[in-house]
């Protein structure tokens, strides 16, 4: 029996455990390829799942996915030695999300008899994990059309060689260890390697900066914007993008990417499946032409280094640094070019001579003039930071003010800043928005 109109999802099922924080309680839900399955359910796609998971999970997986549009759950492989629980430190991806795959060092995967039924499927989307891809290839039909999301668990492109000639799309992310190792400075080498596997399309998801889509058959590239809002949980957002993209490829590579990106945006804004499905159907009700006209944030990973961010803050060794280090960590993680005047021009002390103070002042002012944007953290109402905000506003530079204690909630700071907030997530979005606009204004 051939299942021509069903997309087969292949990958591991996890239990996602988001650790509690000061702002939110703990969250427990099925993860791994279940995120992608929710995306397919939301768009009404026909799909089945080949699940790799421990035996204690399989009944719950079948029940849950049965309620979310899945025609069949094939228990492809058993996970032994580990519970497949993923602990998540930062669900909003301000910086590294601190994933911890519990007991991953002793985990093993054993293929089961259900693998034989995989030959019935003509198309599949694989999320690699702790399982052997060569064995999986032998379970699939000779003429199967395969897409891969290689955001994780692919240290190099070697394992994908077995699928050459059958590849439809390869999707990756700027948070992928492979991307960070091979392409953080220049995409060309990794892109050439991906092209060598002869897929029809390559997608690079660039977090809050949108995505780049390469239609290799047409030799064309498109930039798909991100729509930034209140990120409730970014875990699985990329999986939804990939699943919806692959399910919509019949409409063309670029249109499929725009729809995938829209669905991913909806997934970031709620963890309740019914709300997600409602939002996706509303969002995809408009045409791709209308989506394009509405715009969004386009800021490729490598373009971020073209702009300089002046970090205005009491960036001193002796202050309480939690919020300062969190802000620096978020900006660094997203590949922004940060200029730190205290670090670069020196940290003075109360006994410094006037000529030393004036030299530091002139150097800081010159650095600010060279920068394109100011990220300000006027911690403890630091007077130097407030002066730097004023200089930036006078020079008509965009200012993003992160004020975690709301110590500077006055008219000049709040109204003058492009974004003013005590929420770092909102401020990070503001950096993307301001820099995307600056990029668009450049000739």
Tens-digit pLDDT profile for residues 356-371:
889 999 999 999 999 9
Distance of alpha carbon 12 from alpha carbon 240, whole angstroms = 15
Number of residues written out for the chain: 443
Q: Are the beta carbons of 12 and 130 closer than 8 angstroms?
A: yes
Please state the domain extents for the chain: 3-294, 302-441
User: Closest by alpha carbon to 268, among 239, 243, 235?
Assistant: 235
Q: Are the beta carbons of 266 and 280 closer than 8 angstroms?
A: yes
Q: Are the beta carbons of 335 and 305 closer than 8 angstroms?
A: yes
- 390 has pLDDT over 90: yes
DSSP state of 343: H
CATH code for the part of the protein at 302-441: 3.40.50.450
Predicted confidence at residue 53, as pLDDT, reads 97
Distance of alpha carbon 176 from alpha carbon 165, whole angstroms = 24
Which two three-digit tokens encode residue 206?
A: 């660039």
Which two three-digit tokens encode residue 307?
A: 């702009």
Dihedral angle sign, alpha carbons of residues 144, 149, 152, 156: positive
Distance of alpha carbon 208 from alpha carbon 227, whole angstroms = 8
Predicted confidence at residue 22, as pLDDT, reads 67
**189 DSSP β-pair partners:** none
The torsion region of residue 32 among left (phi > 0), alpha (psi -120 to 50) and beta comes to left
Least confident of 3-7, 202-206, 335-339: 3-7
- 62 has pLDDT over 70: yes
Q: Are the beta carbons of 125 and 147 closer than 8 angstroms?
A: yes
Fold category of 3-294 in CATH:
3.40.1190
Which two three-digit tokens encode residue 265?
A: 């945006």
**126-177, pLDDT tens digit by residue?**
999 999 999 999 999 999 999 999 988 899 999 999 999 999 999 999 999 9
Percent of the chain having pLDDT more than 90? 83
With a threshold of 0.85, does the pTM exceed it?
yes
For the beta carbon of residue 426, count every other beta carbon within 10 angstroms: 17
Residues in Cβ contact with 5 at an 8 Å cutoff, skipping those fewer than 6 apart: 46
Q: Are the beta carbons of 78 and 51 closer than 8 angstroms?
A: no
User: Closest by alpha carbon to 8, among 74, 68, 60, 54?
Assistant: 74
Distance of alpha carbon 97 from alpha carbon 180, whole angstroms = 15
Which two three-digit tokens encode residue 155?
A: 């240290």
User: Closest by alpha carbon to 241, among 86, 30, 35?
Assistant: 35
For the beta carbon of residue 431, count every other beta carbon within 10 angstroms: 25
Give 25 or 363, the one with higher predicted confidence: 363
Confidence of residue 37 (pLDDT cuts 50, 70, 90): very high
Largest Cα–Cα distance in the chain?
A: 85
- 372 has pLDDT over 90: yes
Distance of alpha carbon 120 from alpha carbon 300, whole angstroms = 39
Find where tokens 């602990």 sit: 87
Confidence of residue 4 (pLDDT cuts 50, 70, 90): confident
Give 20 or 249, the one with higher predicted confidence: 249
- 211 has pLDDT over 60: yes
Could you tell me the CA-to-CA distances from 293 to 241, 296, 419, 425 in Å, in that order? Answer: 20, 9, 24, 26
**222-249, pLDDT tens digit by residue?**
999 999 887 788 889 999 999 999 999 9
Predicted confidence at residue 233, as pLDDT, reads 82
Confidence of residue 99 (pLDDT cuts 50, 70, 90): confident
Q: Please state, rounded to an integer, the average pLDDT across all residues of the chain.
A: 93
Confidence of residue 2 (pLDDT cuts 50, 70, 90): low
């Amino acid at each position: 029996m051939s299942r021509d109109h069903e997309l087969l999802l292949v990958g591991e099922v996890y239990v996602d455990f988001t650790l509690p924080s000061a702002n939110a309680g703990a969250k427990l839900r099925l993860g791994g390829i279940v995120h992608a399955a929710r995306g397919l359910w939301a768009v009404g796609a026909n799909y089945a799942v080949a699940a790799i998971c421990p035996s204690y999970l399989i009944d719950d997986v079948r029940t849950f996915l049965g309620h979310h549009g899945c025609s069949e759950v094939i228990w492809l492989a058993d996970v032994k030695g580990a519970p497949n629980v993923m602990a998540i430190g930062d669900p909003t991806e301000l910086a590294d999300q601190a994933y911890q795959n519990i007991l991953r060092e002793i985990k093993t995967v054993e293929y089961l008899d259900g693998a034989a039924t995989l030959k019935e499927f003509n198309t599949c989307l694989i999320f690699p994990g702790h399982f052997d891809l060569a064995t999986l290839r032998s379970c699939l039909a000779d003429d199967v059309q395969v897409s891969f999301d290689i955001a994780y668990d692919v240290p190099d492109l070697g394992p994908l060689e077995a699928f050459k000639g059958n590849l439809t799309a390869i999707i990756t992310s700027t948070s992928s260890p492979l991307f960070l190792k091979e392409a953080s400075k220049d995409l060309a080498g990794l892109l050439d390697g991906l092209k060598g596997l002869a897929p029809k399309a390559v997608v690079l998801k660039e977090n809050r900066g949108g995505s780049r889509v390469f239609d290799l058959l047409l030799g064309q590239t498109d930039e798909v914007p991100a729509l930034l809002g209140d990120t409730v949980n970014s875990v699985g957002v990329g999986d939804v993008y990939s699943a919806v993209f692959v399910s919509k490829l019949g409409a063309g590579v670029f249109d499929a990417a725009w729809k995938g990106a829209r669905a991913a945006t909806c997934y970031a804004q709620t963890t309740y499946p019914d709300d997600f499905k409602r939002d996706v159907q509303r969002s995809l009700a408009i045409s791709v032409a209308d989506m394009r006209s509405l715009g969004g944030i386009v800021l490729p990973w490598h373009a971020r280094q073209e702009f300089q961010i002046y970090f205005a803050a009491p960036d001193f060794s002796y202050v309480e640094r939690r919020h300062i280090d969190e802000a620096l960590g978020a900006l660094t993680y997203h590949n922004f070019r940060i200029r730190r005047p205290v670090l670069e021009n020196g940290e003075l002390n109360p006994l410094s001579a006037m000529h030393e103070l004036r030299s530091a002042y002139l150097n800081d002012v010159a650095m600010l003039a060279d920068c394109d944007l100011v990220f300000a953290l006027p911690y403890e109402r630091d007077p130097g930071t407030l002066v730097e905000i004023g200089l930036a506003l006078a020079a008509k530079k965009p200012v993003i003010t992160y004020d975690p204690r709301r110590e500077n909630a006055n008219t000049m700071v709040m109204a003058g800043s492009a974004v003013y907030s005590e929420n770092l997530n909102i401020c990070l979005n503001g950096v993307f928005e301001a820099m995307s606009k600056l990029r668009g204004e450049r000739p």
